[in-house]
Chains A and B, each alone.
Chain A
Amino acid sequence: MKRLLGVALGILTAIGGFVDIGDLVTNAVVGSRFGVSLVWVVAVGVVGICLFANMSGRVAAVSGRATFEVIRERLGPRAGLANLAASFLINLMTVTAEIGGIALALQLASGVSYMLWIPMAMLAVWLVIWRVKFSIMENVTGLLGLSLVVFAVALFLLKPDWGALAGQAFAPSVPGSEGPAVYWYYAIALFGAAMTPYEVFFFSSGAVEEGWRVKDLIQSRLNVLLGFPLGGFLSVAIAACSAVVLLPAGISVTTLSQVALPVAQAGGQLALAVLILGVVAATFGAALETTLSSGYTLAQFFGWSWGKFRRPARAARFHMAMIVCLLAGVTVLSTGVDPILVTEYSVVFSAIALPLTYLPILIVANDPQYMGEHVNGRVVNILGLLYLVIILTASLAAIPLMVVTGAGA
């Protein structure tokens, strides 16, 4: 019974933890401009993140090595440093976006300007990282994040023409009002939002934090294979909501309140309150994950002592690095830059940096010295290689498309 509860908790946490500010904003923007014609990208992204999160979790559980140790070990110091620089900058952008997201959600709830919420959001994130146990942190934010299910409920309440939505989703085409370059630019953004590298850094380091062993692999696989697709389903619901309400009204999403609009229209104040709770939990959880990931990547590259299972004084450089990251994020936000804009760029840059992260995982997952009998099977390797091709294509196409489309304008 206790084991079953553990499994259920893990799955629920994975669902609630899947969506972050990047998924929220990108899906709403895409829904309001392209309807549900890009839903297939979410599906492709979710399969990819399942594949590689599972692989990095297995490497961590079997060998005790987290992803960035593996990256440095396999790519060597030069390519490793290039990856560190790219991943760290994107992580920092994501931290910034998530803290901005918490503050924007609190503004939506209170009417007090988000600028005033930023320092408090940062302090709260830091306090949790400083003092709260890893498992509690994960479970609370994950479970509260489940309130984003309100998007799916709202979609039902909106009574859309299901046939038309399904037609759009399963026979995708570029809508007449948009050019193909913009369509593909947003396809890459959605892909980046679903496969953000911090998720595997966090997932593999979390496996080390929680002391996973080989016997825990079945549970971790269940968490990933059920939790992430259901999380992806939430992403689709967000896109569908804005496709049903915002697209016909000609509203393009530039603020968080526009993301919330379909939910408020369908379910009134109560639904809006649940939505705000969900957005705060999801962005707060993701702010924790990205801040920790900044610490994890640096500590694992340089070989510092790291982890929340240690007292902060036993991982001094790790905690110092995270404090500096949080301060840097808040400094960026205090310039008045729009957090939604930061989010939109961060997901595209994520897509650019993907290959450097996923290639070493695939290599080490095939190395019997690390993995013993738990090396990748043939099917996983074929899928892994296929995804590397997709990832590489997306990564190479991202910057040209960004230039051509003026960042999707």
Chain B
Amino acid sequence: MRKQPPPLRKPPEVAGRLLDAQLHLLDRQLLDVDGVPVTTIDDLELSGPEHDEPIPEGAEAPRITALLTGPVLGTRIFGGRPPSNRLIRIPWSDVAEVGTVLRLGVKGESLDALWVERWLRDRVIGRIPGGSHDPE
């Protein structure tokens, strides 16, 4: 007669909300503290050992350190990795709320992620007459 295996221990209670990075974070819209769109979340930066490196015994679980945008979208679609100095990072500590969109607790104005927007605004769109007035 086969011995009954001992019953499995219940998994530990998860504190807080369970998020699936793929489902709840990636490709979601990111808004700044005033509700202005910043970018779509193109990728995530995790702490911990690099890809392909062996994971040492008892290593700490990886944490999300930053949201990524910029050229990383291209490499996510077509493969490869951009050099780390080409990554546009938005530190996870700036994130204030995770829902159907992610909200930052800071203004977008200071973020690297919006440099193209600022450049176009200051060099092109803002210079066309009427560009900085409300539509009538």
Partner of A317, one of B26, B100, B120: B120
Q: Is the CB of A317 within 8 A of B136?
A: no
Q: Is the CB of B121 within 8 A of A302?
A: no
Q: Is the CB of B37 within 8 A of A311?
A: no
Interface residues on A, range: 35 or more
Interface positions, chain B 88-136, Cβ under 8 Å from A, are 100-101, 116-118, 120-121, 124-126, 128, 130-136
Distance in Å from the Cβ of A295 to the closest Cβ of chain B?
Answer: 12
The complex places the Cα of A64 from the Cα of B99 at a distance, in Å, of 12
Interface string of A126-140 (1 = CB under 8 A from B): 000011111000000
- B21 at the binding interface (Cβ < 8 Å): no
Q: Is the CB of B37 within 8 A of A316?
A: no
**Given A305-B36, A317-B116, residue A311 in contact with residue B132 (CB < 8 A):** yes
Q: Which residues of A contact B100 (CB under 8 A)?
A: 63-65, 369-370
Distance in Å from the Cβ of A291 to the closest Cβ of chain B?
Answer: 15
The complex places the Cα of A77 from the Cα of B38 at a distance, in Å, of 17
Partner of B135, one of A64, A134, A299, A303: A134
- B86 at the binding interface (Cβ < 8 Å): no
Interface positions, chain A 142-169, Cβ under 8 Å from B, are none
Q: Which residues of A contact B76 (CB under 8 A)?
A: 77
Q: Which residues of A contact B121 (CB under 8 A)?
A: 313-314, 316
- A81 at the binding interface (Cβ < 8 Å): yes
**Given A303-B40, A369-B100, residue A312 in contact with residue B132 (CB < 8 A):** yes
Q: Is the CB of B136 within 8 A of A78?
A: no
The complex places the Cα of A269 from the Cα of B19 at a distance, in Å, of 66
Q: Is the CB of B120 within 8 A of A133?
A: no
Partner of A312, one of B37, B77, B125: B125
The complex places the Cα of A305 from the Cα of B116 at a distance, in Å, of 12
Distance in Å from the Cβ of B135 to the closest Cβ of chain A?
Answer: 5
Interface positions, chain A 41-72, Cβ under 8 Å from B, are 63-65, 69, 72
Q: Nearest CB to that of A308 among chain B residues? A: B135
Partner of A73, one of B28, B39, B77: B28
- B87 at the binding interface (Cβ < 8 Å): no
- B27 at the binding interface (Cβ < 8 Å): yes
Majority secondary structure, A binding face: helix
- B29 at the binding interface (Cβ < 8 Å): yes
- A390 at the binding interface (Cβ < 8 Å): no
Q: Is the CB of A69 within 8 A of B131?
A: no
Q: Is the CB of B37 within 8 A of A303?
A: yes
The complex places the Cα of A348 from the Cα of B92 at a distance, in Å, of 45
- B73 at the binding interface (Cβ < 8 Å): yes
Q: Is the CB of A301 within 8 A of B135?
A: no
Q: Which residues of B contact A69 (CB under 8 A)?
A: 29, 40
**Given A63-B100, A65-B100, A370-B100, residue A133 in contact with residue B39 (CB < 8 A):** no
Q: Is the CB of B131 within 8 A of A312?
A: yes
- B44 at the binding interface (Cβ < 8 Å): no
Q: Is the CB of A77 within 8 A of B132?
A: no
Q: Is the CB of B136 within 8 A of A72?
A: no
Q: Is the CB of B27 within 8 A of A311?
A: no
- A320 at the binding interface (Cβ < 8 Å): yes
The complex places the Cα of A320 from the Cα of B116 at a distance, in Å, of 11
Known: A65-B29, A317-B117. 10 other contacts (CB 8 A): A63-B100, A65-B101, A77-B73, A131-B130, A132-B136, A133-B136, A303-B38, A304-B39, A316-B121, A370-B100
Chain B residues with CB under 8 Å of chain A are 26-30, 36-42, 69, 73, 76-77, 100-101, 116-118, 120-121, 124-126, 128, 130-136
Q: What are the nearest 4 A-B pairs in CB distance?
A: A303-B40, A316-B121, A316-B120, A303-B39
A to B CB contacts below 8 Å, 15 in the list: A69-B40, A72-B40, A130-B128, A130-B130, A131-B136, A133-B135, A301-B40, A302-B39, A303-B30, A305-B36, A305-B117, A308-B135, A311-B133, A313-B132, A319-B131
Chain A residues with CB under 8 Å of chain B are 63-65, 69, 72-73, 76-78, 80-81, 130-134, 299, 301-306, 308-309, 311-314, 316-317, 319-320, 369-370
